[in-house]
Amino acid sequence: MAELSQSPTDPGFVQNPYPFYAEARARGAVHQWRDYGIHCAFSHAAVNAALRDSRMGREAPDELKEPRPAHLRDFYAIDDNSMLELEAPRHTRLRMLVLHAFTARGIAGLAPEIEALCHHLIDAFPEGDFDLLPQYATQVPVIVIARLLGVPDDMADRLLAWSNDMVAMYQARRDRAIEDGANAAAREFSAFLADYIATRRRTPSDDLITRLIAAEADGEKLSLDELIATCVLVLNAGHEATVHTLGNGVKAMLETGMRPEWTSDSMIDATVEEILRFDPPLHMFTRWVYEDLEIGRSPLRRGDRIGLLLGAAGRDPEMWVDPDRFDPNRHLKPHVAFGAGRHFCVGAPLARLELRIALQVLFARLPGLRLAASPRYANLYHFHGLERLMLCAQ
């Protein structure tokens, strides 16, 4: 197994990680990434197989679990109850309960409200050049999720700040200041949600928090800690992915000169899937190895960690012809931007709906949209999203 070196915070890598992925993939499916000190899978086949393999998972093996640092107590009080970080049987139980509340029919019913929100945000665009991220890409998912939870719209900025501070814990640039900020955000968000959940227990409403409180499977309900962790996960995972995908997608469309002529839902859906394949919002998702096994012809041992490079998998030439070309008309094949297997993103239907509507409304309202400055990606790895996207509507 080869050992590769590449700083994830190097400016060149931040702006374009795909050449490194291609070089690694050409040398084999799995390598040791020295800067992380873990094995990493770069091919679509290896990443897809690992995501579906029950011999690997998110929880550390018992003998490798370490005490939580005191300065991150509040953060891990949430993280340790998040189904994203758990395996069976707790993950199975939590996912089933969440799916009882997070139904496909309920999500589809949000479409008119999302469309109205998109028009409202575009109506408020300033004259001249503007940054799409704070004006639109950030606002759509955070307001939708606030409404889904039943939280007032005027809490959106507070939710966004908490989310940004907590999600920074998963970035390569993490340091003590980021850890302290994440812990403070977790403490404040938990206190807010505990009060809000208590209110919803007294006065139920037609929102996700009320449905999560009521959700029951095999006589089991969510505890308060699990309710808080689930609401935080809905915000953090749902918001972060949609913001980056929307920004990355508009960038790709404008840079390639694509002028959408969407005459059917299937055409806009194909564009969304191509965006997710071509420039996904999350580039690495890690797993612990629970028993000795082999991935991509590389041996792994119990206690190893492996990074699954979702960003590399989407550019694999063994899966897609000319994968570095953005082409919404290409033959659709399943990508791994939302994961796969038992941890496949619960919020994927909502994210797809938001992206489809937000793109349609944006280009219908502003058909002359163009780049006003060269886009730059932010230093967010494992995430991959822009720091700003300056546009001109004329």
- Supply the pLDDT for residue 40: 98
Confidence band for 153, pLDDT divided at 50, 70 and 90 = confident
pLDDT of residue 103: 82
Share of the chain above pLDDT 70, in %: 99
The residue that leads in pLDDT, 277 or 259, is 277
Q: Is pLDDT of 304 > 90?
A: yes
Which whole number is the average pLDDT over 88-117?
90
Per residue in 205-242, pLDDT (tens digit) is 988 899 999 987 667 889 999 999 999 999 998 888 99
Provide the percentage of residues in the chain whose pLDDT is more than 90.
Answer: 85
The mean pLDDT of 16-38, rounded to a whole number, is 97
Count how many residues are written for the chain: 394
- Please give the pLDDT value at position 84: 94
DSSP category for residue 10: -
pLDDT of residue 19: 98
The secondary structure of 193-249, three-state, reads HHHHHHHHHHCCCCCHHHHHHHCCECCECCCHHHHHHHHHHHHHHHHHHHHHHHHHH
Question: pTM of this prediction?
Answer: 0.95
| Mean pLDDT across 275-293 | 97
More confident residue, 258 or 318: 318
Average pLDDT over residues 27-40: 96
87 by DSSP, 3-state: which? coil
pLDDT at 125 over 70: yes
Lowest average pLDDT, out of 20-29, 97-106, 221-230, 243-252, goes to: 97-106
Split at pLDDT 50, 70, 90, the class of 75 is: very high
Q: What is the pLDDT of residue 253?
A: 97
State mean pLDDT over 283-309: 96
Structure confidence at residue 204 (pLDDT): 94
Q: Where are the domains of the chain?
A: 3-392
- Averaged pLDDT for residues 180-189: 98
pLDDT value, residue 186: 98
pLDDT for 98 equals 87
pLDDT at 217: 67
Crossing angle of helices 265-278 and 348-365, in 10° steps, is: 110
* Angle CA 62–173–307, to nearest 5: 45
Of 201, 196, 161, residue with least CA distance to 181: 161
What's the CA gap between 197 and 206, in Å, rounded?
Answer: 13
The model's pLDDT over 373-388, given as tens digits with 9 standing for 90+, comes to 999 999 999 999 999 9
pLDDT score of 237: 86
Phi-psi region of 390 (alpha: psi -120 to 50; beta: other; left: phi over 0): beta
Residues 338-366: tens digit of each pLDDT: 999 999 999 999 999 999 999 999 999 99
pLDDT at 292: 97
Amino acid found at 248: N
pLDDT classification of 102: cutoffs 50, 70, 90: confident
> Which of the four pLDDT bands, split at 50, 70 and 90, describes residue 30?
very high
- The rounded distance, in Å, linking the Cα atoms of 36 and 284 is 11
What pLDDT does residue 261 have?
Answer: 84
Buried b (16+ CB within 10 A) or exposed e, 201-216: eeeeeebbbbbbbebe
CATH, range 3-392:
1.10.630.10
Average pLDDT, the chain: 94
